[in-house]
Structure 1
Amino acid sequence: MIEVRIRGVRETAVEQAVATLDTLAQDAELSLHCRDATLVERAHRPQIEWHLRGRRGSVGRRLRHALHLAVRTGEHNPHAGTVRLVRVPARLDEPRARRLARTRRAARTALSDHPLVLRRLDPDIHEVGRPSVSRGWHALAFLTLVVTATAICLLGAGLWPVIGLDNPRVGGPLVVLVGGYLLGGTHLAVRRTPTHRALPWLVPLAVPLAVPLVPWLGALVQRAYLSPFGVRPTPGKDGLGDVHAGLWVLCVFVAAALLPVAFLGWMRFLAPSLRVRGPWLSWAPAVTLGIGMGMAFSLLILHTAARNGAENRALAVAGRDIPEYFGVSAEYACVEPTSPETPYYGAPPPRNHPVVIFGQSGDRVELWDPAVRRKTSIRLEDARIRFVSHIDSPCKVAR
């Protein structure tokens, strides 16, 4: 009888272990079969960390020590920072105060013995405490997280020009702050991981994939913008407008997707002891949340484009010209059908006021009438079209 332990996913660990053992026996041509397979779970015992560190001196003494180190006239303090760490098993069924007192006594006993004399607990030199966490740096990291998330949300909602962030003097430092937080936190999260070693070839591979993706995302933004008018963007009309719109969506998606990962990296950097505590500091929740946030902010951009389209449609109804929107420029034309029996789709083409045209598709053109707020599709050969400069230009001379 031989006992073999094989790791696997908890839900199907038994089946995976049996299948793996059968495969290994078959490959090695052994007369071996499984009689009993049992799920064995590793017990995770809670532990409390206690750190041995040198006593903190006065501010003046620390400044003098730092000055001596800077000019190379002093030696490094061997007791600066945490010099030893012990973990004491804890029971969660006892009160917190009693648990801390008991584990502290056990930690002091463990710290009193060490082969190195300088690492033995000396009450005059050392102090025993919990993991030191700089609340100021954590508060700053969390505040930067809130600022970054707010900036991404405002960018997705198209509100940067409203609050003046389109000014380089105002928006430039914010972009540097957001980019530094995201890139720095992501680097801290992926360093010393297989992902870090794969980045040198993953990034060059992702850049060519983004080339066809950017115009497609821009076309989605233009389509959402034209949806209140009931017309479609002109196919084959690719320019800088849809590229800018596509980069808008891509930048917001990437920034939102990296935000939880960057926060994870900063937390692990500021508190290394949190690396093994809790599943919320693992990769799967951060990546899943990031992708979900990226998709949510991308949908926010499409909603923003549709809202801007509705606002510009209201401008046309009020008799005002429509501004350009990411390469989508409105033209105004007077339309006169060639005959009373001219076929069309939608509302009848008006004769006494201009209509809005967003480009033609093949041998047809889609018109939007601001008076009835409906569109018309008509063949180019069935109408005489004369373009005018403004939406309130007269059409009495159209023939």
Structure 2
Amino acid sequence: MTTDASWTLRAIEIRIRAVRETAVEQAVATLDSLAQNSELSLHCRDATLVERVQRPQIEWHLRGRRGPVSRRIRHALHLAVRTGEHDPHAGTVRLVRVPTGLDESRPRRLARTRRAARTELSHHPLVLRRLNPEVHEVGSPSVSRGWRVLALLALVFTATAICLLGAGFWPMIGADSPRVGAPLVLLAASYLLGGTLLAVRHTPTHRALPWLIPLAVPLAVPLVPWLGTHVQRAYLSPFGVRPMPGSEGLGNIQAGFWVLCVFVSAALLPVAYLGWMRFLAPSLRVQGPWLSWAPAATLGIGMGLAFSLLILHSAANSGAENRALAAAGRDIPEYFGVSAEYACVEPTSREAPYYGAPPPHGSPVVLFGQSGDRVEFWDPAANQKTSIRLEDARIRVVPHSDSPCAKAAR
């Protein structure tokens, strides 16, 4: 390529993050903008897209052969007290990466790269780092079986705890007691928070956390009561009534916080497992699509939504169980701020309008508060919902579900 005598040809490399289809245009626009701001007599004559070629590589480790348990314990003690008498061949002592192609089967690819790695590992200026079949072994990057089992058990334990919490089964296992529930919450939270921090460290997300967390806290303030209302609505659905307006109390906050904690815990579970695996096997950070952010985040959000639906399902089951208690003549316990009242309803006239079954005369009904100028109640005797205007009925609250209405009306 030739230029005029008054011009000098320069090759300029511009590294830019952009969409591949418009990367060339973006690079030229960036160069023109810089030239204009610097008042340079410069223009782009030819621009081409140069992509970095990433050749797949297979990693092989040179590590000492595993000895008896007593030898490994002695090695760990020497490392702890720094006596300098530890085994110099313990663990991975050398690492080589062999370029490979994807046009052959995996067994053939592994066998070929393993032979190439053994050839390379047989040469090294340090004698202790040359391959010695009697001392060393060549293997792929892996996690110790004990740590792998421990990480898997921690994952299963945390997932089980979240599932039991979402299904509302913690009282059945005694976890509603602080002596049992506090250690479970502490262990699960340690696994989730520790794994999440290990997953995001040395990433752009880690640098964004100082301002992401303060931004997320104000968003949770209106979200918690809204989630609690959905839990109360699911609980009252078997009765056919709606939550009482203005019932955003402590129980509503607790129900919403329950849903939010379960969703966040389930969403962080795959990310935490990813962080622990990266910590236990650092070589796996850049290998395998299952260690990328997208699958873990997608799976976590899906699990969070599934566990949130499980909470609503368990709330509906609790409502059905309490409806059966009321039909059997027993009192209904409070459920996250939703408390039942028992009242005798007497229409002011025979022509008083109502929706549903007619109000009973000899037995009390179940009330969950009034909605505007109407009152919705559930009749245990007829097992149906009834709605009537307040001005068309006289309502007398009684203490229990088996209280006689005749005595209460006097």
TM-score range, shorter chain: 0.7 to 0.9
Distance of aligned partners of 1:322 and 1:70 in 2 relative to their CA distance in 1, 3 Å threshold: closer
After superposition, the C-alpha distances for 1:298-325 in whole angstroms (9 at most, x for unaligned) are: 1111111112112222222232222211
Match of 2:207 in 1: 197
Distance of aligned partners of 1:81 and 1:316 in 2 relative to their CA distance in 1, 3 Å threshold: same
The answer as to 2:349 corresponding to 1:339 is yes
Q: What letter corresponds to residue 32 of structure 2 in structure 1?
A: A
Equivalent-residue separation in structure 2 for 1:191 and 1:234 (angstroms): 46
1:230 is matched with which residue: 217, 236, 240? 240
CA shift for structure 1 position 70: 4.3
Match of 1:359 in 2: 369
Tell me, which stretches of 5 or more residues in structure 2 are unaligned? 2-10, 37-41
After superposition, the C-alpha distances for 1:276-331 in whole angstroms (9 at most, x for unaligned) are: 12222111111111111111111111111112112222222232222211111111
Over the matched positions of the two proteins, sequence identity in percent amounts to 76
For residues 288-327 of structure 1, the aligned pairs below 5 Å read: 288-327=298-337
CA shift for structure 1 position 143: 2.5
After superposition, the C-alpha distances for 1:233-252 in whole angstroms (9 at most, x for unaligned) are: 11112322112111111111
Match of 1:144 in 2: 154
SS at match of 2:269: helix
Match of 1:240 in 2: 250
Distance of aligned partners of 1:307 and 1:113 in 2 relative to their CA distance in 1, 3 Å threshold: same
Tell me, which stretches of 5 or more residues in structure 1 are unaligned? none
Q: What letter corresponds to residue 401 of structure 2 in structure 1?
A: I
Residue pair 1:21, 1:34 contacting (<8 A) in 2 also: no
Match of 1:13 in 2: 20
CA shift for structure 1 position 100: 3.8
1:254 is matched with which residue: 243, 251, 264? 264
Equivalent-residue separation in structure 2 for 1:106 and 1:392 (angstroms): 85
Equivalent-residue separation in structure 1 for 2:81 and 2:25 (angstroms): 66
Residue pair 2:231, 2:312 contacting (<8 A) in 1 also: yes
Distance of aligned partners of 1:98 and 1:247 in 2 relative to their CA distance in 1, 3 Å threshold: closer
After superposition, the C-alpha distances for 1:16-47 in whole angstroms (9 at most, x for unaligned) are: 43344345435635544778x77x76554332
Equivalent-residue separation in structure 2 for 1:321 and 1:299 (angstroms): 28
Q: What letter corresponds to residue 130 of structure 1 in structure 2?
A: S
Distance of aligned partners of 1:98 and 1:232 in 2 relative to their CA distance in 1, 3 Å threshold: closer
After superposition, the C-alpha distances for 1:25-74 in whole angstroms (9 at most, x for unaligned) are: 35635544778x77x76554332212223444444444444444444544
Equivalent-residue separation in structure 1 for 2:289 and 2:120 (angstroms): 29
Q: What letter corresponds to residue 186 of structure 1 in structure 2?
A: T
* TM, length-normalised to structure 2: 0.85
Residue pair 2:375, 2:388 contacting (<8 A) in 1 also: yes
CA shift for structure 1 position 113: 3.6
Match of 1:80 in 2: 90
Distance of aligned partners of 1:73 and 1:280 in 2 relative to their CA distance in 1, 3 Å threshold: closer
CA shift for structure 1 position 257: 0.5
SS at match of 1:322: coil
Q: What letter corresponds to residue 283 of structure 2 in structure 1?
A: S
After superposition, the C-alpha distances for 1:334-377 in whole angstroms (9 at most, x for unaligned) are: 11122333344444333222111111234432222223333333
* TM, length-normalised to structure 1: 0.87
Match of 1:49 in 2: 59
The answer as to 2:382 corresponding to 1:372 is yes
For residues 256-295 of structure 1, the aligned pairs below 5 Å read: 256-295=266-305
Residue pair 2:100, 2:109 contacting (<8 A) in 1 also: yes
Q: What letter corresponds to residue 115 of structure 2 in structure 1?
A: R
Distance of aligned partners of 1:153 and 1:61 in 2 relative to their CA distance in 1, 3 Å threshold: closer
Q: CA RMSD in A?
A: 2.9
CA shift for structure 1 position 184: 1.6
Q: What letter corresponds to residue 359 of structure 1 in structure 2?
A: G
Q: What letter corresponds to residue 28 of structure 2 in structure 1?
A: L
2:35 is matched with which residue: 28, 50, 59? 28
After superposition, the C-alpha distances for 1:68-118 in whole angstroms (9 at most, x for unaligned) are: 444454445444322221111234555655544432332233234445555
Distance of aligned partners of 1:321 and 1:34 in 2 relative to their CA distance in 1, 3 Å threshold: farther
Residue pair 2:56, 2:100 contacting (<8 A) in 1 also: yes
SS at match of 2:143: coil
Equivalent-residue separation in structure 2 for 1:314 and 1:272 (angstroms): 55
Residue pair 1:6, 1:17 contacting (<8 A) in 2 also: no
Residue pair 1:49, 1:85 contacting (<8 A) in 2 also: yes
Q: Which moved further from structure 2: 93-102 or 42-51?
A: 93-102
Distance of aligned partners of 1:96 and 1:24 in 2 relative to their CA distance in 1, 3 Å threshold: closer
Residue pair 1:53, 1:82 contacting (<8 A) in 2 also: yes
Distance of aligned partners of 1:370 and 1:17 in 2 relative to their CA distance in 1, 3 Å threshold: farther
Q: What letter corresponds to residue 188 of structure 1 in structure 2?
A: L
Equivalent-residue separation in structure 1 for 2:111 and 2:289 (angstroms): 27
For residues 51-130 of structure 1, the aligned pairs below 5 Å read: 51-94=61-104, 98-116=108-126, 118-122=128-132, 125-130=135-140
